[in-house]
Structure 1
Amino acid sequence: MTNTISDLLRAAAERSVPVVRGITDDRLGDATPCAEYDVRQLVDHLFQVVVNFQLLAAKKDADFSAGPDRAGHGDWREEFAAEAEALVEAWAAPGADQGATGAMNMSASLVGRMALGDLAVHAWDLARATGQEYTPDPVVVREVLTAFGELAPTARAMGVFGEEYRLPDGGAGASDLDRLLALTGRDPGWRRP
């Protein structure tokens, strides 16, 4: 597999979309590892991510202030699958990962990896919250771990990441996924209540 943003997003979507499809309506009110979101709110946030990062790939401004209300309405699982595919296609467009993007005025390559991280990490959140199995692509995890390592101080200052979770033994022997989750403030051992 090459490491273009669209290839990485496709690998992430192939493992994330089944998690979203596996969420039953009776789980929408359940807690997630993201304390500020229940399952419904996290699915809606993930919709917001996949839609807005399509705009950023096209070098357009995105509005993250308006949260969608998609989870639990209509065929939301298949709508998510379609939006995830549109995200992959948006980042496959020539030049999508070049230059700066949107009002964020950040490197498009880094912005694409932010979308990748949201897709992979929030799929883990949703899988844990709803009792599903989920193993992200190892190449995706390594890419996100590198990108989020750069972004972590700013993300913490903005309240996007929690304080880094302290792994046992200083992380010795921890997997890349556990290190990524800890970096974003998550306890890799989190289980639904």
Structure 2
Amino acid sequence: MNSEITTADPRPLYRRAAAQVARLIAAATEGRLGDPTPCEEFDVRGLLAHLVAGARAGAALGERNRDVTLAPPAGVPDGAWAKEYEEAAAHLLAVWSDDALLERPVRVPWGEMPGGAYLASGCVLETVAHTWDLSRALGDPFPLDEELAEYALAWARRALAADRRGEGVPFGPVQPVAEDAGAYDRLAAWLGRPVGQAG
């Protein structure tokens, strides 16, 4: 595994990942919000709510060092998802701007880890994985940042071994993928998504 990838400061990468998914959210017209996504748990609207909730939870964890339930935001008008997400992501980045937080241990449902590792695995990886889901659901409207997917894939392989699937793990078995597949498809396959599935 490339140690430079897994030891990089995750904040600039989260900023890039958040900007990229925000662009996709802005492209999700109201007529597409009920469409399915490759993440079977969510349609497009549900995925947008999950992304907003995740960013809010990440900010709250940095502020209070306490795990926060991923409660979907209530009462968000269909035309306001882009604004809601951008505000939540900006708040997360503001909270985590303190370098000391990267070394402070945080407790999350899957264990205790330094704050920087949480940002990488719980924020960058999560955002990048759902970027692929949303992009597929919307018909892949623009090329995605492959470097972000390479980084997320390195963390996924580190945090989620292929044999750690099944009950209690919210990812299916690793799926087959072409040897020459791009980083996003390889990441999706590692996380159990059928890569041939389109939204």
The answer to whether structure 1 residue 183 and structure 2 residue 190 are counterparts is yes
The answer to whether structure 1 residue 50 and structure 2 residue 60 are counterparts is no
**Structure 1 residue ranges without an equivalent (≥5):** none
Alpha-carbon distance in 2 for matches of 1:78, 1:134: 20
Equivalent runs, 1:82-97 vs 2, <5 Å: 82-97=87-102
Match of 1:156 in 2: 165
Same amino acid, percent of matched pairs:
26
Pair 1:135–1:88, CA change in 2 (3 A): farther
Partner secondary structure for residue 29 of structure 1: coil
Alpha-carbon distance in 2 for matches of 1:137, 1:92: 23
Root mean square deviation, CA, Å: 2.3
Partner secondary structure for residue 135 of structure 1: coil
Alpha-carbon distance, 1:57 to partner: 2.7
Alpha-carbon distance in 2 for matches of 1:39, 1:52: 20
Could you tell me whether the CA contact under 8 Å between 2:150 and 2:183 is conserved in 1?
yes
> What amino acid sits opposite 1:94 in the alignment?
D
What whole-Å deviation, never above 9, does each CA across 1:85-130 have from its counterpart, x for those lacking one? 2222223222121131135422322211121011111122112112
Alpha-carbon distance, 1:66 to partner: 2.6
What whole-Å deviation, never above 9, does each CA across 1:58-84 have from its counterpart, x for those lacking one? 352132253323554562321211111
The answer to whether structure 1 residue 128 and structure 2 residue 133 are counterparts is no
The answer to whether structure 1 residue 9 and structure 2 residue 14 are counterparts is yes
> What amino acid sits opposite 2:184 in the alignment?
L
Equivalent runs, 1:42-81 vs 2, <5 Å: 42-58=47-63, 60-69=65-74, 72-73=77-78, 75-81=80-86
Pair 1:178–1:88, CA change in 2 (3 A): same
> What amino acid sits opposite 2:143 in the alignment?
T
> What amino acid sits opposite 2:170 in the alignment?
V
Question: How many corresponding residue pairs?
Answer: 188
Alpha-carbon distance in 1 for matches of 2:154, 2:187: 9
Alpha-carbon distance, 1:35 to partner: 0.9
Partner secondary structure for residue 133 of structure 1: coil
What whole-Å deviation, never above 9, does each CA across 1:121-170 have from its counterpart, x for those lacking one? 112211211224243333322221111112214973533222111124xx
What whole-Å deviation, never above 9, does each CA across 1:9-39 have from its counterpart, x for those lacking one? 1111121111011111121111100111111
Alpha-carbon distance in 1 for matches of 2:52, 2:95: 15
Could you tell me whether the CA contact under 8 Å between 1:5 and 1:112 is conserved in 2?
yes
Alpha-carbon distance in 1 for matches of 2:104, 2:164: 21
Match of 1:166 in 2: 176
After TM superposition, the score normalised by the length of structure 1 is: 0.85
Match of 1:147 in 2: 155
Equivalent runs, 1:92-103 vs 2, <5 Å: 92-103=97-108
